[in-house]
C-alpha cells in the first residue's frame, strides 16, 4: 500500500506550494502549515492562506523559531520556500548550530531532525548556489552537509519557469531530498549519476533537458558542518545531486517549451488608476541606461552604471521576474501598453496572480492592494509545483 500524501508546509505565504500540489492530486493532505511575517501587525498572507484552506489549529501564525518541532504532526513531505541567508556556522558552545539566530534554514533542519519526513521539496533564489561571493558554494554545501548527516540524498535544479511553458521568466532553485531508506533511494542508488541527471531523476523526468555528458564529480568529504562553513569552496552548476557521499553537478539546458505571454493573461477594461498619467518622464528615466558618480563609505569614487530595461515591457513575451515591489514607481516594475487602449499602464493585481499561476483574485481577501503585489512577488509559480506534484504522485505510489 502506498504511503499517505501528507504535507508540512513551512513559510507558506499565500499557499503556492499547497495549491500547486492540490492541482496535481486532491490526495495531498497538508497536516500542518506555518506562516509568519516578522514585524507585521496585520498578518495578511496568513489570513489569505486561511481564507482558502480554513482557519484551523494546524494553520499556525507564529514565528517558526518558537515552535516545538516535536509537536508538528507526522508527515511524509516537507515543503517550503525560504530566504537565502548567510549560512556560515560559528562554534557557539553547547548550542552549536542551533545557536545561530534568525537564519531560517536551521528551522528546516530542526524539523528534519525531529520529524524525519521521507521527502523534502524546497525553493530558493538561484544565487544560493554561488553564495557567498568570497567562498563560492559554501551556503549550499552547508545545506547538503545537513541533509547528508541526517540520512538524506539530494537532487537540485535551477528552473526558469518560462522555459517550461509558464508566463514568467522566474529563475529559482528547487531542492528535492529523499531519505536513504525510501524505495526511491533504493532505485536511484543503482543508477549512474549521469543517468539520474539526464533521464531518471526527479527533475529529469519532470523538466526534460538536452543530453549532457560533462558531469563534474566531487567527493563530499568533511569533518562536520563547521568544517564545511570554514573551508568549502566549489562551483555548483544549475543541476546536480548528492548521493552516497558524492556530489555530481553539471550545467544543463532545458528542452524548451513555448511560454505563455503577457498578452494571453491581460485583463480587459482596466480601471484608469493603473495608467501612468503624469509620471511618464520619471518612468523613462528609471527604465533607461544611466551612469552615476558615487562615493563609497570609505571615500572611494566610482561610477554606478546600469543598462536599459525594455519600456514598455513586450506583451508578446512572458513577464520578467516579479518582485515584491511590483506596482511601485521603480525600475523593476512592469509597464505594458494596454492592447485595448494603447496607453501605458501597470499590471493589475489579478494579472500579477495570473503570471504566478494563481487563481483569479486569490489575494483579494481584504489585504491592501499593495500587499497583493508583495505576496505575488514572494510567491512561486504554481504550475511549476503542479508538475513536480505529478511526479511526486508516482514516487509516493511506489513507496510502501
Q: 379 versus 92: which is more confidently predicted?
A: 379
pLDDT over threshold 50, residue 197: yes
Task: Tell me: do 192 and 289 sit in the same domain.
Answer: no
Q: Is it the case that residue 53 has pLDDT exceeding 50?
A: yes
Does 253 share its domain with 389?
A: yes
Q: CA dist 43 to 13, 50, 57, 125, 272, Å?
A: 10, 11, 16, 24, 29
| 292 and 306 part of one domain | yes
Burial 317-337 (b: 16+ CB within 10 A, else e): ebbbbbbeebbeeebbbbbbe
Q: In angstroms, what CA-CA distances link 246 with 148, 220, 222, 396? A: 10, 5, 11, 25
Lowest mean pLDDT among 62-76, 80-94, 216-230, 295-309: 80-94
Q: Is 367 among the domain residues?
A: no
Q: Which domain holds residue 206?
A: 6-257+381-397
Identify whether 84 is a catalytic site residue.
yes
**To the nearest whole percent, how much of the chain has pLDDT over 90?**
86
pLDDT of residue 50: 98
Tell me the pLDDT tens digit for each residue of 319-328: 999 999 999 9
Per-residue pLDDT tens digits for 279-316:
899 999 999 998 888 888 888 888 888 899 999 999 99
Length in residues, the chain: 400
Domain check: are 251 and 268 in the same one?
no
Q: Which pLDDT score, from 0 to 100, does residue 91 have?
A: 57
* pLDDT tens per residue, range 127-169: 999 988 889 999 999 999 999 999 999 999 999 999 999 999 9
Whether residue 217 is found in the same domain as residue 346: no
Q: Are residues 206 and 342 in the same domain?
A: no
Residue 94 pLDDT grade (very low, low, confident, very high; cuts 50, 70, 90): very low
Among residues 40, 242, 226, the alpha carbon closest in space to that of 152 is found at 242
In a domain, 11, yes or no: yes
Task: Round to whole Å and give the CA distance between 381 and 241.
Answer: 23
pLDDT, tens only, 202-227: 999 999 999 999 999 999 999 999 99
Residues 6+ apart with CB under 8 A from 74: 6, 31, 115
Q: What would the pLDDT profile of 335-382 be if each residue is shown by its tens digit?
A: 999 999 999 999 999 999 999 999 999 999 999 999 999 999 999 999
pLDDT at 90: 61
Instruction: Kindly report the CATH number assigned to the domain that includes residue 21.
Output: 3.40.50.150
Residue 392 covered by a domain: yes
Q: What share of the chain in percent tops pLDDT 70?
A: 96
* Residue 260: partners with Cβ closer than 8 Å, 6 or more residues away: 165, 166, 167, 318
Are residues 20 and 99 both part of a single domain?
A: yes
More confident residue, 87 or 52: 52
User: Does 20 share its domain with 55?
Assistant: yes
Q: Is the pLDDT of residue 99 over 60?
A: no
Tell me: do 64 and 114 sit in the same domain. yes
- Which 8-state DSSP code applies to residue 43? -
* Separation of alpha carbons 249 and 260, rounded Å: 30
Q: Is residue 342 part of a domain?
A: yes
pLDDT, residue 397, reads 97
Q: Is residue 366 part of a domain?
A: no
Helices 349-356 and 369-378: crossing angle in degrees, nearest 10, is 10
Confidence category of residue 87, pLDDT binned at 50, 70, 90 = low
Q: Could you tell me which residues come within 8 angstroms of residue 104 by beta carbon, excluding any fewer than 6 positions away?
A: 11, 64, 82, 83, 85
Nearest to 347 by CA among 367, 309, 373: 373
**Looking at residue 81, what is its pLDDT?**
94
Domain count, the chain: 2
Write down the pLDDT at residue 120: 98
One domain for residues 330 and 393? no
pLDDT (mean) for 73-101? 72
86-95 contact pairs (CB < 8 A, 24+): 86/131, 86/132, 86/139, 87/138, 87/139, 87/142, 87/143, 87/229, 88/132, 88/138, 88/139, 88/142, 88/229, 89/142, 89/225, 89/226, 89/228, 89/229, 90/229, 91/226
Assigned domain for 94 exists: yes
Set 8, 48, 50, 84: catalytic member: 84
* pTM of this structure: 0.94
Residue labelled with grid coordinates 557521499 = 245
Q: Is there a domain that residue 374 lies in?
A: no
What is the average pLDDT value for the chain, to the nearest integer?
Answer: 94
SS3 284: helix
Band (72; pLDDT cuts 50, 70, 90): very high
238 three-state secondary structure: coil
Q: How confident is the model at residue 88 (pLDDT cuts 50, 70, 90)?
A: low
Regarding whether 318 and 283 lie in a shared domain, the answer is yes
Residue 337 maps to a domain: yes
Are the C-beta atoms of 68 and 34 separated by less than 8 Å?
no
230 and 124 within one domain: yes
Amino acid at each position: 500500500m502506498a504511503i499517505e500524501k501528507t504535507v508540512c508546509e513551512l513559510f507558506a505565504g499565500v499557499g503556492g506550494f499547497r495549491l500547486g500540489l492540490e492541482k496535481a492530486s486532491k490526495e495531498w493532505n497538508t497536516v500542518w502549515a506555518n506562516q509568519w511575517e516578522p514585524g507585521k501587525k496585520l498578518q495578511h498572507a496568513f489570513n489569505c492562506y486561511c481564507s482558502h484552506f480554513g482557519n484551523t489549529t494546524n494553520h499556525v501564525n507564529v514565528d517558526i523559531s518558537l515552535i516545538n518541532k516535536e509537536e508538528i504532526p507526522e508527515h511524509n513531505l516537507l515543503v517550503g520556500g525560504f530566504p537565502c541567508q548567510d549560512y556560515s556556522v560559528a562554534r557557539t558552545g553547547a548550542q552549536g548550530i542551533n545557536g545561530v539566530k534568525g537564519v531560517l534554514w536551521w528551522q528546516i533542519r530542526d524539523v528534519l531532525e525531529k520529524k524525519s519526513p521521507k521527502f523534502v521539496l524546497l525553493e530558493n533564489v538561484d544565487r544560493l548556489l554561488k553564495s557567498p561571493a568570497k567562498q563560492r558554494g559554501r551556503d549550499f554545501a552547508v545545506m547538503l552537509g545537513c541533509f547528508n548527516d541526517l540520512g538524506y540524498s539530494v537532487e537540485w535544479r535551477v528552473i526558469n519557469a518560462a522555459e517550461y511553458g509558464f508566463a514568467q521568466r522566474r529563475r529559482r532553485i528547487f531542492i528535492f531530498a529523499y531519505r536513504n531508506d525510501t524505495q526511491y533511494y533504493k532505485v536511484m542508488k543503482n543508477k549512474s549519476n549521469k543517468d539520474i541527471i539526464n533521464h531518471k531523476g526527479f527533475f529529469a523526468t519532470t523538466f526534460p533537458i538536452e543530453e549532457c555528458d560533462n558531469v563534474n564529480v566531487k567527493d563530499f568529504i568533511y569533518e562536520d558542518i563547521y568544517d564545511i562553513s570554514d573551508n568549502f569552496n566549489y562551483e555548483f552548476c544549475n543541476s546536480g545531486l548528492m548521493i552516497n557521499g558524492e556530489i555530481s553537478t553539471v550545467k544543463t539546458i532545458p528542452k524548451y517549451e513555448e511560454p505563455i505571454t503577457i498578452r494571453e493573461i491581460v485583463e480587459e477594461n482596466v480601471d484608469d488608476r493603473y495608467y501612468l498619467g503624469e509620471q511618464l518622464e520619471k518612468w523613462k528615466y528609471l527604465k533607461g541606461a544611466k551612469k552615476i558618480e558615487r562615493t563609497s563609505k570609505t571615500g572611494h569614487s566610482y561610477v554606478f552604471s546600469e543598462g536599459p530595461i525594455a519600456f514598455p515591457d513586450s506583451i508578446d513575451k512572458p513577464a520578467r521576474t516579479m518582485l515584491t515591489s511590483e506596482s511601485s514607481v521603480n525600475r523593476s516594475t512592469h509597464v505594458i501598453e494596454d492592447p485595448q487602449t494603447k496607453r501605458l499602464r501597470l499590471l493589475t493585481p489579478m494579472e500579477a496572480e495570473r503570471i504566478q499561476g494563481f487563481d483569479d483574485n486569490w489575494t483579494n481577501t481584504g489585504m491592501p492592494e499593495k500587499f497583493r503585489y508583495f505576496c505575488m512577488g514572494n510567491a512561486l509559480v504554481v504550475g511549476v509545483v503542479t508538475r513536480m506534484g505529478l511526479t511526486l504522485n508516482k514516487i509516493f505510489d511506489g513507496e510502501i
